[in-house]
Chain A
Amino acid sequence: MKFVGDRYLRKEDPRLLTGRGQYVGDIALAGMLHAALVRSPHAHARMVRVDAARAREHPGVVDVVSFLDLGSAGRPFPIVPPHPELRGHNFSMLADGRARFVGEVVAVVVADSRYTAEDARELVDVEYEPLPSAQTLAPGAPAVHDDVPDNLAGRVTLARGDVEAALRAAPRVVQIKLGIGRGGGQPMETRGLVADWNAALGQLTVWASSQVPHQIRQFIGDLLDLPPHQVRVVAPDVGGGFGAKLIVYPEDVLIPFLARRLGRPVRWLEDRLEHMLAATQEREQEHDVTVGFDATGRILALRDRFVHDTGAYTPRGLVVPLLTASMLTGPYRIPAVLSSFESRYTHRVPVTPYRGAGQPQAVFVIERVLDLVARETGRERAEVRLANLVRPGDMPWDVGLPNYRASGNVILDSGDFPSVLRRALESAGYDTLRAEAAAARAQGRLVGVGLACYVELTGVGPFEAARVQVDARGRIAVFTGATTQGQSLETTFAQVAADELGLTPEDVSVIAGDTGGIEHGIGSFASRAAVVGGSAVALAARELRAKALVLAARVLGVAEAELQQTGAVFADRRRLERRVTFAELARAAAGATAALGVEPGLESTRFFQPADMTYSSGAHVARVEIDPLSARVTVTGYWISHDSGRLINPMVVEGQIQGGVALGIGSALLEEIVYDQDGQLLAGSYMDYLLPTATDVPSMDIDHLETLSPLNPLGIKGVGESGALPVPAVLASAIDDALGVRGGRVTRMPLGLARLLALLPPPDAGSP
């Protein structure tokens, strides 16, 4: 392989560095109108009346639409994926008589400028009848959906072995309660759409800042009754996703609906306050964990019962708690496990995956348990982990719990977890770090070292598609259903295609996220783009090259074995002057006769349908220092060893990990969505929801191990979420160490200053 594995500089950069990116907000069409959304100020309310008269009269206003204007398009969106235990509900394009969270879209104003639309929005009179709202996960809260009076969206139990018997038989048993708070992906670019209905072509074109343009097309087709060939959805340059742009939102169909209704292009750009209110969130769970173990620290039994806050709707069904439950045991061998949850509705923003997707919670639980076991047995924390890790000889390891898609059990396909942990410890100089931290603590400084291991589920199906095409001028285009919000697919997929085609990445243009480029696609989430999308690209490019060889042989009148390829040229190896280029082959293929013996067009479309998920793994070591005066935590050192199989581009992988860790630091120390008892968002802007800055994130040391995945042609595994998974766990471990106890003190994330200050020793009298 020439380009796969290379730290190839990005093809995206020249335009993005010079301000020539094209994000949804940069798209301006002639005659374009601007939308502003009216959102419910109540967590739960009946909408008695929507009176748009004053708004309609405002100069510059073209239309005001509420639920009554939608007709059959107002029905609830599909839930993807469904689940037999799910009592699911999804939202509609506009709230149908009832608002179920603060920020739910109730009406939309369309005007000739954004400024006007926002002015007119204030003139829309909505009469609300506020109702009591469910703001806790405790039973007895007001019902969010009338047909689910107990607010139980789903209850699932996953089990391996007989955990009750194993707990009874275990020499030691300890219980702990753990909690994680709400947060959100918070990409720097908020959401937005431009929609344009071309009546002459009968074509709806939608630019969406989304991770799933093919799904948007599907939902538009369904709700607006348009066949796929009349709808084109394009994800242009997208300024980050992290899950916030993962689902199909009401606006994703509403704005296209407006474009069609009004016969003019419509643009809607979400503002940050709206994003805080209405972009989906994740993480909130309360866990009650019981672990049985022996004196050496071997874990014999693990029981986790948790409650999951799913918000007001379940657009993604039970995916998040299923991921937490099924991934609970991480990279460890645990013979008896019971993992059960209740997913409960609340009158809050819906919960759907954000970077990590239920797995950071699982990692937090199992890693806190391991630190707890270490404390209880007096064994060193890394030793306890090594004693429990699945070993390379155990692979593939059947965890014994069904995976979140219920397509089989969680099977850890490959990896070397003990090596990854040892490499992290070595690169951190773990023993030295611990000794230095202990010495610092003896001097009164609050310095601690922590560690955490993880496995990450990646490469979920059902499939991804790739179409590779050579045109008459020899230009190579690769169309993929995977999408990019910064993952560098224009570069990494070009590297993959270039290797298969015998060309360079400069010769290959990758077009991602355009339903007009490829008919079938899924999108980017669950760390699947490189694995599934990249594999499809490899297969399609491989097939294209095979076709090119057949054609070249025909055109040159030689056997394929006599051909030699140098860049874009195929030649008869015995008479090099007899040659043909990709461009010429494409032209020949364009007019392929029966005699030529190949199908027309020099192109290939292939799907990759992974047989199963493939699992990345890693270990993080962190050093922290806590300021005894303020309880502020500074992360002063961070070491990572990581295995995501073959790396297409190590530079890109490292960037993904660094970004994931930064997001993890935010979710552990800074970011928390807080609602008051009426469901009002208290952390409603960037003044209160605190993202990590350059002074909050340390430099990180990253080591790679590459155990190839057996589950795809390239041997790769996903990495997009890896960085984020273990951060709350490793920081909790380090903070406990800094506080001088071994495990069990930090039980909640994010860790607020007040709570941490209360855990510190009281200040000395008499020192300035």
Chain B
Amino acid sequence: MHAVRLTVNGAERQARVIPRLLLADLLREEFGLTGTHLGCEHGACGACTVLVDGEPVRSCLLFAVQADECRVDTVEGLAGADGALHPLQEAFRARHALQCGFCTPGMLMTLTAYLRERPSPTEADIREILSGNLCRCTGYQNIVQAGLDAAAALRAAGVPR
């Protein structure tokens, strides 16, 4: 067993884990943060995307023990403490960018990281950056539009990088 201490959505968490426990399982089963989903367990679908030290990663390909001393952000941390939705979440709702919702947390976390780095993406940029996130319901069109809307909203709000 290894002891891990990490920050999850700004809160310090601890756990004792076996080495092979996936980070996704730590978040879902230990911490009850079931918003991060497992769609393929071999790193192809992107549903499990979370941020580790600000970078979007596939949490099915990281062991919990590797997240020791890291800062992890999941979809549960996107909305404000008062419940106010993040501009991405608002845009997804307004554009009907989700149907079954299973891929959605991965989409949101990927876009959150990407828009910090690239505040003014084109449609082609967003399509390319989302090519590692599979969706079977929407055909992507509304997700891409929501990404563009959110980028504009974040620029307008002057959100710092």
Given A18-B76, A694-B130, A700 and B100 contact (CB-CB distance below 8 Å): no
B127's nearest neighbour on chain A, judged by CB, is A694
Are B131 and A488 in contact, with the CB atoms below 8 A?
A: no
Q: List, in ascending order, chain A residues with CB within 8 A of B138's CB.
A: 655, 658-659, 662
Are A188 and B78 in contact, with the CB atoms below 8 A?
A: no
- Distance A691 CA – B130 CA, assembled complex (angstroms): 13
How far is the CB of A377 from the nearest CB of chain B, in Å?
35
Asked whether B113 is an interface residue with its Cβ less than 8 Å from the other chain, the reply is no
How far is the CB of B30 from the nearest CB of chain A, in Å?
11
- Chain B residues 7 to 47 lying within 8 A of chain A, measured CB to CB, are 18, 20-21, 28-29, 33-42, 44-45, 47
Are B141 and A699 in contact, with the CB atoms below 8 A?
A: yes
Asked whether B96 is an interface residue with its Cβ less than 8 Å from the other chain, the reply is yes
- Distance A695 CA – B126 CA, assembled complex (angstroms): 9
Asked whether A240 is an interface residue with its Cβ less than 8 Å from the other chain, the reply is yes
Q: List, in ascending order, chain A residues with CB within 8 A of B21's CB.
A: 115
A7's nearest neighbour on chain B, judged by CB, is B96
Are A655 and B100 in contact, with the CB atoms below 8 A?
A: no
Asked whether A516 is an interface residue with its Cβ less than 8 Å from the other chain, the reply is no
Are B101 and A187 in contact, with the CB atoms below 8 A?
A: no
Q: List, in ascending order, chain B residues with CB within 8 A of A23's CB.
A: 34, 37, 102
- Distance A663 CA – B85 CA, assembled complex (angstroms): 30
- Distance A691 CA – B135 CA, assembled complex (angstroms): 9
Asked whether A65 is an interface residue with its Cβ less than 8 Å from the other chain, the reply is no
- Distance A687 CA – B138 CA, assembled complex (angstroms): 22
Asked whether A17 is an interface residue with its Cβ less than 8 Å from the other chain, the reply is yes
Are B142 and A237 in contact, with the CB atoms below 8 A?
A: no
Asked whether B64 is an interface residue with its Cβ less than 8 Å from the other chain, the reply is no
- Distance A655 CA – B142 CA, assembled complex (angstroms): 8
Given A655-B138, A686-B44, A19 and B94 contact (CB-CB distance below 8 Å): no
Given A10-B93, A19-B36, A687-B44, A658 and B98 contact (CB-CB distance below 8 Å): no
B35's nearest neighbour on chain A, judged by CB, is A19
Are B35 and A18 in contact, with the CB atoms below 8 A?
A: yes
Asked whether B108 is an interface residue with its Cβ less than 8 Å from the other chain, the reply is yes
Asked whether B128 is an interface residue with its Cβ less than 8 Å from the other chain, the reply is yes
Asked whether A486 is an interface residue with its Cβ less than 8 Å from the other chain, the reply is yes
Q: List, in ascending order, chain A residues with CB within 8 A of B76's CB.
A: 18-20
Given A19-B35, A652-B96, A693 and B130 contact (CB-CB distance below 8 Å): yes
For B52-92 the 0/1 string (1 means CB < 8 A from A) is 00000000000000000000001110110000010001001
Are B136 and A25 in contact, with the CB atoms below 8 A?
A: no
For A10-33 the 0/1 string (1 means CB < 8 A from B) is 101110111111110110100000
B29's nearest neighbour on chain A, judged by CB, is A28
- Chain A residues 383 to 431 lying within 8 A of chain B, measured CB to CB, are none
Are B99 and A486 in contact, with the CB atoms below 8 A?
A: yes
Q: How many residues of B contact A (CB 8 A)?
A: 57
- Chain B residues 127 to 161 lying within 8 A of chain A, measured CB to CB, are 127-128, 130-144
Given A18-B75, A25-B38, A695-B127, A486 and B44 contact (CB-CB distance below 8 Å): no
- Distance A19 CA – B140 CA, assembled complex (angstroms): 20
How far is the CB of B88 from the nearest CB of chain A, in Å?
9
For A474-500 the 0/1 string (1 means CB < 8 A from B) is 000000000001111000000000000
Are B98 and A17 in contact, with the CB atoms below 8 A?
A: yes
B22's nearest neighbour on chain A, judged by CB, is A115
Given A188-B136, A658-B138, A700-B141, A26 and B34 contact (CB-CB distance below 8 Å): yes
Of B18, B85, B135, chain A has the most CB atoms within 10 Å of the CB of B135
Are B85 and A17 in contact, with the CB atoms below 8 A?
A: yes
Of A189, A240, A663, A694, chain B has the most CB atoms within 10 Å of the CB of A694
Chain A binding surface SS class: loop
How far is the CB of A476 from the nearest CB of chain B, in Å?
23
A693's nearest neighbour on chain B, judged by CB, is B131
Asked whether A442 is an interface residue with its Cβ less than 8 Å from the other chain, the reply is no
Please tell me which one of the listed residues B33, B40, B127 contacts residue A272 in the complex, with CB atoms under 8 A apart. Answer: B40
Of B18, B35, B79, B99, chain A has the most CB atoms within 10 Å of the CB of B99
For A694-737 the 0/1 string (1 means CB < 8 A from B) is 11010110000000000000000000000100000000000000
Q: List, in ascending order, chain B residues with CB within 8 A of A186's CB.
A: 136
Asked whether A747 is an interface residue with its Cβ less than 8 Å from the other chain, the reply is no
Are A694 and B98 in contact, with the CB atoms below 8 A?
A: no
Are A189 and B37 in contact, with the CB atoms below 8 A?
A: yes
How far is the CB of A650 from the nearest CB of chain B, in Å?
10
Are B108 and A238 in contact, with the CB atoms below 8 A?
A: no
Please tell me which one of the listed residues A16, A26, A655 contacts residue B104 in the complex, with CB atoms under 8 A apart. Answer: A16
A20's nearest neighbour on chain B, judged by CB, is B35
Are A188 and B102 in contact, with the CB atoms below 8 A?
A: yes
- Chain A residues 661 to 681 lying within 8 A of chain B, measured CB to CB, are 661-663
Are A694 and B144 in contact, with the CB atoms below 8 A?
A: yes
Q: List, in ascending order, chain B residues with CB within 8 A of A28's CB.
A: 29
A687's nearest neighbour on chain B, judged by CB, is B44
How far is the CB of B158 from the nearest CB of chain A, in Å?
23
Asked whether B103 is an interface residue with its Cβ less than 8 Å from the other chain, the reply is yes
Asked whether A68 is an interface residue with its Cβ less than 8 Å from the other chain, the reply is no
- Chain A residues 207 to 250 lying within 8 A of chain B, measured CB to CB, are 237-240, 242
How far is the CB of A118 from the nearest CB of chain B, in Å?
10
- Chain A residues 631 to 687 lying within 8 A of chain B, measured CB to CB, are 651-652, 654-656, 658-663, 685-687
Are B140 and A685 in contact, with the CB atoms below 8 A?
A: no
B18's nearest neighbour on chain A, judged by CB, is A115
Please tell me which one of the listed residues B41, B130, B139 contacts residue A659 in the complex, with CB atoms under 8 A apart. Answer: B139
Asked whether A598 is an interface residue with its Cβ less than 8 Å from the other chain, the reply is no
How far is the CB of B91 from the nearest CB of chain A, in Å?
10
- Distance A691 CA – B131 CA, assembled complex (angstroms): 10
10 interchain residue pairs of minimum CB distance? A19-B35, A239-B102, A486-B100, A16-B101, A658-B139, A486-B99, A686-B44, A662-B139, A26-B34, A19-B75
Would you mind naming 29 contact pairs between A and B with Cβ atoms under 8 Å apart?
A13-B98, A13-B101, A16-B98, A17-B75, A18-B35, A19-B33, A21-B35, A23-B37, A188-B37, A188-B39, A188-B102, A189-B37, A189-B100, A190-B39, A238-B100, A272-B41, A488-B99, A658-B142, A659-B137, A659-B138, A661-B139, A663-B136, A685-B42, A687-B44, A693-B130, A694-B126, A694-B130, A697-B141, A699-B123
Given A18-B76, A238-B100, 15 more contacts at CB 8 Å? Answer: A19-B36, A21-B102, A23-B34, A25-B34, A187-B100, A188-B47, A188-B134, A240-B136, A240-B137, A659-B136, A686-B44, A693-B131, A694-B133, A699-B123, A700-B141
Residues in chain A within 8 A of chain B (CB atoms): 9-10, 12-14, 16-23, 25-26, 28, 115, 185-190, 237-240, 242, 271-273, 485-488, 651-652, 654-656, 658-663, 685-687, 691, 693-695, 697, 699-700, 723
